[in-house]
Amino acid sequence: MEKDKYYSLIDPEVEKFRENFRKDIPWWYVPEIHLGTNILIIICVLFYSFSNIQNLTFFEFLVIPLMLLGGNFFVWVFHKYPLHRPFKIMPMAYKIHTLSHHHFYTDEAIIYRDKRDFIILFFPIHFVLPVNGILFPALGYFSIKYGVLSPNVAHLIVAMAAVYLVLYEVFHFVSHLPQDAKILRIPIFKNAWVHHRHHHTKKLMGRYNFNIVFPLFDRLFKTYYR
């Protein structure tokens, strides 16, 4: 589907919101710097973490599936509550996600127009840097220093937090591509696209389809809509 044909189908009120939002994007925002900085942070964390893992045991290896499972659960909880409920302790999360992201990207306007739309699609640098670039490495460092965790386990936790962020961003980006994108021929990405598009339906977004990478906890907690 050609982009101009796609955009002709968008509700005028939605398109008006999108255009007004675009007008407020800072002039200094550069999508390549946004994504490039995030990628650089993740690469540095992964390189440092994996390069410090030695003689991994079977039980230490179990950190990998446990972190994938934990990441899936965390996304479900965080997405369902702070991002879709106006909690007083995290008002900006609700404002950015529900009031901006979900008004900018609806089920009928799921794709981005150009790279500047990435500002409301990918995690901002001021989230990735303090959380994945500082917080997790600091927790790993002090857990090793004070003997809370073995070095391998600590480094794996830090690395897998970064890996799950990458998975989240990839699947979320794919979920905002046009329906005829070639990558959606891959079943796992097509399923994620359908799953996430339902979530962007106004009447469903606060109740269903909170997982991004795989709808495990949506199924377990009966918030799965298809």
Sign of CA dihedral 38, 40, 43, 49: negative
Asked whether residue 2 carries a pLDDT value surpassing 50, the answer given is: no
pLDDT over 90 percentage in the chain: 88
Phi and psi (nearest 5°) for 65?
A: -65, -30
Q: Please, are residues 68 and 217 in contact by the beta-carbon 8 Å criterion?
A: no
The pTM score is 0.93
Q: pLDDT per residue over 202-214, tens digit each?
A: 999 999 999 999 9
Q: What residue ranges do the domains of the chain occupy?
A: 3-21+32-220
| Angle between the N-to-C axes of helices 136-145 and 151-174, in degrees from 0 to 180, rounded to the nearest 10 | 170
Paired tokens of 158: 């830090």
How far is CA 98 from each of CA 72, 89, 186, 187, rounded to the nearest angstrom? Answer: 20, 16, 29, 28
pLDDT over 70 percentage in the chain: 96
Q: pLDDT per residue over 34-68, tens digit each?
A: 999 999 999 999 999 999 999 999 999 999 999 99
Q: Please, are residues 123 and 38 in contact by the beta-carbon 8 Å criterion?
A: yes
Q: How far apart are CA 98 and CA 2, in angstroms?
A: 28
Contacts with 123 (C-beta within 8 Å, 6 or more apart), sequence order: 38, 165, 169
Paired tokens of 33: 């710097």
User: What residue has token string 């390069």?
Assistant: 51
User: What residue has token string 């409920």?
Assistant: 85
Residue 90: the pLDDT is 83
Q: How far apart are CA 86 and CA 89, in angstroms?
A: 9
Instruction: Assign 9 a pLDDT band (cuts: 50, 70, 90).
Output: low
Q: How far apart are CA 170 and CA 188, in angstroms?
A: 12
Q: How far apart are CA 203 and CA 102, in angstroms?
A: 11
Asked whether residue 6 carries a pLDDT value surpassing 80, the answer given is: no
Q: Which amino acid is at 181?
A: A
